[in-house]
A and B are shown apart, each in its own frame.
Chain A
Amino acid sequence: MQQQSPAKKKKKIKVPRVVNGVDTLVEIEVDDDGSVAWGPNDKHALLNHRLPRVDGHVKVSGAAEYTHDRRPPGMLYGRVLRSPHAHARVLKVDASAARGIPGVKAVVASTDDPARKELVVLFAGQPVAAVAAETPEIAEDALRAIRVDYEVLPHLVRAEDSVKEGAPKVFADPKEPNVEPRDKRGDASKVAEALKGADVVVEAEYRTPIIHHSSLETHGNVVDYRGGEEATVYASTQGTFTIPGDAAQELGLKESAVRAVVEHMGGGFGSKFGIGVEGMLACQLSKQAKAPVHLMLTRKDEFLLAGNRSGSWQKFKAGATKDGTLVALHAVQYRLGGLGDGSQAGQPYIYAAANAYREGYSIHTHEDASRAMRAPGHPQASFAVESLMDELAYKLGMDAVEFRKKNLKDAVYHRQLDRGAREIGWGRRNKTPGAGAGPLKRGMGCGIGTWGGGGNDECKVDVTVARDGSVSVAVGTQDLGTGTRTYTRAIVAEELGLQIKDVAERIGDSRLGSANSSGGSTTAASLAPSVKDAAVKARLAVAERLSPLLGGAKPEEITFSNGGVSGGGKTLSWRQACAALPAAGVTGHGVWQTSLAGRGVHGVCFAEVEVDVETGRVRPIKMVHVQDIGLPLNRLAVESQMNGGMIQSLGMALWEGRVMDAKLGLQLNPGFGDYKLPGALEMPELVPLIDDEDTREAVIGVGEPSIIPAVGAVANAVHNACGVRVRELPITPDKILMGLLSERRGA
């Protein structure tokens, strides 16, 4: 029913460019080749509406089968033995007692392979052995029965310690220093010169700790291999197609002989690509036992060895002139990614500075390697620069929103800042930070973000219309909880003039058409265009068959709407129409269409908080997030994702952070009892606003942009409320009380 609009000669499109290390968009004019189009965003029958998710009923009733829930016959339970030391040489693993426990079916140890070089564990939590047994209880007993002899080596778990002169080395390889230079851009001497001419200068240091993804379904797989030539791997993954190759290598099979299944998965947030060490161990155990192995990490495993969002340490010197122009910015940025490199967007993040210089480094520690986490590097950069912008604005005595607008060229930010300010009631904010009677102080703050996203030519989709009228759409992609299943169905239903319930989707299977991994908010922009293309092709194939029955109407002129097919002055019901199809039905094979995907978004967040200056406790009151995303495929799901972004930002701003014991080299809070996730009692009023003034008829992902600007907004709201500028996350009561104390002493 979405008819193509007549081809125009020229059209304007936006293309990505990198400005100051940040993706941005530039509009250019190109030939309009009459390719597939979504049509205007406000003219859809299903898309851009509020669609309850199609897997909702199986999820609310416990019927949805997650990886964790798979129970192939004869399945064993796998468990991982972790190193208790942050840095140690494994001398000996004695698993003989474990093997002797009745019910233990397989044991693998890091020392099994005599050809392998000695194992030096580099973080507390690194696997040194694994077992598979008939019950989880027996598997746990087996872990306790394994004796490992370690030679403990000196460790480093704090960035400050790693950078010290004469510090022990994190890696044995001399080519891998504790501090690795990453990027350098700009002219430091020009910045120094410009700072001299600035009316106000702020010199400040901002820190964010390591954050945990905390997906409720832990990492893991159920490897169903019983010997022979084929295997099936049920995986909790963001990349169905990243699994077969990894598993095949461990199992010694051909990649095509391994099938990956991801029916439902319980969250990933960037941490679940590839089979992981836990999957490799599951394969080894399954191969040894010739039986299926269920190896899902425990929650403590998950904290210690399943990746994290890198921390950051950013040092600024920045200056502005009286009129609010940012004239100079000098930034030194450290990424704290443990054994990994970490990630961080370059400064000045989004804002324009007449003179800017930055240099970036990774500081390594004996902690598990960082992984991608929802907008890798952006919330860290955004928190720091938004705090800095605020500090400059207050020093100048300028309104924080006006100061930002002054340094943002892009009109979309201006429009979104105005809308957010209206929605939160910016005029009500504390004119002087910390002002007001009584111990409960309210304040407001704001922040901005950006994300590239975009789609890739990676999805192959089949839409099949059967002679009995049933319609199916099949592609191997995975639904992380973002609503992939729902929009996949909706696109096909809309194209064929049907309802959502008339279409069945099959996803999460590497035997189906290929699809990209869900990273960088690229799933929707890669998948939706391919689904649309397949649906259009299926529609035209059906229309071609019907043409003789509809007075010879041209296939492209036959319309599909409200469960009917019309042309040549006649209308057939869907069932009647499909009866004319061949026995095998017709299938449209869809591929990615550039014209249907977009990339590059903005996004602003405003937050209001209440600070109790007697206890230092922060209570979030309200958050507003304004987001442009082109064509929202499903408004309900988009808003849910925006809520999720705000809530996760809130966690990062106020509560979350890995705590390490420097002496022991161990994490002190590897569990939900001590790692504080946002909970029901802390929820503010959340207002997710889709910016419909973005009329791009293109699909753009929304997962990552919605987590970026809120962290700075909350931190700035805390300052506006009580006058304390907390430069190290999370903003816990102790930091606020210490800030108030030092203010009082200073005054």
Chain B
Amino acid sequence: MADEHDVKSSRHQESPPDPSRRRFLKGVGIAGAGAAIADHLAQTAEAEATAARAEAAKLPTAGPLELALDVNGRRRAVSVEPRTTLLNALRNHLEPAVTGPKLVCDQGTCGACTVLLDGKPVYSCLVLAADAAGKKVTTVEGLGTPEQPNAVQAAFVEQDALMCGFCTPGFVTTVTAYLKKNPNPTLAEVREACKGNFCRCGTYPRVFEAALAAAKGTVSDK
């Protein structure tokens, strides 16, 4: 879960320039590692590092970035700093805010902020907002509504797979994405799929049941 987003696909040619943390790190980090690389590689690495460093120097590290995020099918203009995470942008910089994804740990351990980036589940606290530009961001709000829940959301209600509900958006998003990938999972596979999400109230067994029920299509519409 929370797959590393694809480096290549995050390199967009359109402006503003891509200020990805990965490319920035590449610029400052490779020179140090270069010493450990065999001689014939070192030269290439050194040259690459110099180039990357030069490129990174051009990227903004402070000051506002004017971004257009595609959130649940709507184009949302937002002004954020390069360091602003996608989660932070959704919750605190969009107007009106998108607060379905929850900020719980802010360090990629709990999964409560899970969103789909081009259909893949990611921890939105580990993705820079700038890196989400040009991709489709789907939050739990984009999966269904209270009136028209998707099959996973309906199953969560029916199986009582939530208590306080603060982890629930993350679980719902994770399970929805997983069932797309594997529409007929076993219990063991569901558990594996949920391993990146924490719940403190103790809803795990019913989350598993809900995921299996949603997969089987045994959930009633309401």
Contact = CB atoms under 8 A, between A and B. Distances in A.
A308 B105 CA distance: 18
Nearest to A50: B160
Nearest to B99: A69
Interface string A520-543: 000000000000000000000000
Contacts of A672: 105, 107, 109-110, 198
Nearest to A213: B200
B36 interface: no
B100 A648 contact: no
A216 B107 contact: no
Interface in A45-99: 52-53, 55-66, 68-69, 71, 77
Interface of B: 81, 83-84, 88, 91-93, 96-107, 109-110, 112, 139-141, 143-147, 149, 153, 156-158, 160, 162-169, 172, 191-192, 194-195, 197-208
B201 A636 contact: no
A191 interface: no
Given A216-B102, A216-B110, A683-B205, A644 B158 contact: no
B197 A57 contact: no
A195 interface: no
A217 B205 contact: no
A573 interface: no
B165 A61 contact: no
A56 B161 CA distance: 9
Nearest to B210: A60
B109 A481 contact: no
A481 B165 contact: yes
A681 to B, nearest CB: 5
A132 B121 CA distance: 33
Contact of A481 (B93, B103, B143, B164): B164
B205 A686 contact: yes
Contact of B200 (A267, A298, A482): A267
Contacts of B149: 57, 60-61
A644 B197 contact: no
Contacts of B146: 57-58, 61, 63
A647 B93 CA distance: 36
A264 interface: yes
Nearest to A64: B165
Given A56-B157, A61-B140, A299-B107, A641 B164 contact: no
The 5 closest A-B pairs by CB, nearest first: A62-B100, A481-B164, A644-B202, A266-B166, A59-B165
Contacts of B197: 680
Given A61-B146, A267-B201, A686-B205, A480 B164 contact: yes
A679 B198 contact: yes
Nearest to B100: A62
A299 B207 CA distance: 24
Interface string A663-683: 000000001110001111101
9 contacts: A61-B149, A62-B139, A69-B91, A136-B92, A637-B160, A648-B200, A680-B207, A683-B204, A683-B208
Contacts of A647: 202, 204
Given A53-B162, A56-B157, 9 more contacts: A60-B140, A60-B149, A217-B166, A269-B200, A299-B105, A640-B201, A671-B109, A677-B200, A683-B191
B160 A53 contact: yes
B105 A481 contact: no
A470 interface: no
A215 B205 CA distance: 19
A214 B167 CA distance: 12
A137 to B, nearest CB: 6
Contacts of B99: 62, 65-66, 68-69, 71
Contact of A644 (B81, B201, B208): B201
A643 interface: yes
Size range of the interface on A? 35 or more
A640 B195 contact: no
Interface string A470-482: 0000000000111
A64 B203 CA distance: 18
Nearest to A480: B164
B157 A641 contact: no
A643 B158 contact: no
Given A61-B141, A216-B104, A266-B165, A640 B203 contact: yes
A57 B165 CA distance: 10
Contacts of B153: 57, 60-61
A296 B191 CA distance: 31
Given A53-B160, A216-B198, A481-B165, A61 B143 contact: yes
B174 to A, nearest CB: 10
B157 A53 contact: yes
B164 A680 contact: no
A652 to B, nearest CB: 12
A135 interface: yes
Interface string A187-229: 0000000000000000000000000011111100000000000
Nearest to B193: A680
Contacts of A637: 160
B106 A299 contact: yes
Contacts of A215: 164, 166, 200
Nearest to A53: B160
A362 to B, nearest CB: 27
A58 B109 CA distance: 25
Contacts of A265: 164
B164 A216 contact: yes
A645 B96 contact: no
A680 B165 CA distance: 16
Contacts of B109: 671-673
Nearest to A641: B163
A235 interface: no
Contact of A646 (B81, B163, B202): B202
A59 B169 CA distance: 7
Nearest to A645: B202
Interface string A637-667: 1011101111110000000000000000000
> Which of B146, B153, B156 counts the most A-chain CB atoms under 10 A from its CB?
B146
A643 B97 contact: no
Contact of B203 (A214, A644, A685): A644
A680 B204 contact: yes
Interface in A447-483: 480-483
A55 B165 contact: yes
Contacts of B141: 61-63
Contacts of A60: 140, 144, 149, 153, 156-157, 162, 165, 168-169, 172
Given A214-B200, A677-B200, A680-B191, A56 B162 contact: yes
Given A61-B153, A671-B107, A69 B172 contact: no
Nearest to A266: B166
A640 B103 contact: no
Contacts of B81: 135, 137
Nearest to A706: B202
B162 A137 contact: no
Contacts of B103: 68
Contacts of B200: 213-216, 267, 269, 648, 677
Contacts of A683: 191, 204-205, 208
Contact of A137 (B83, B97, B104, B105): B83
Nearest to B197: A680
B164 A266 contact: yes
Contacts of A646: 202
A66 B157 CA distance: 18
Contacts of A213: 200
A71 B192 contact: no
A235 to B, nearest CB: 15
Contacts of A678: 202, 204
> Which of B84, B97, B163 counts the most A-chain CB atoms under 10 A from its CB?
B163
Contacts of A53: 157, 160, 162
Interface in A110-149: 135-137
Contacts of B166: 66, 215-217, 266-267
B110 A52 contact: no
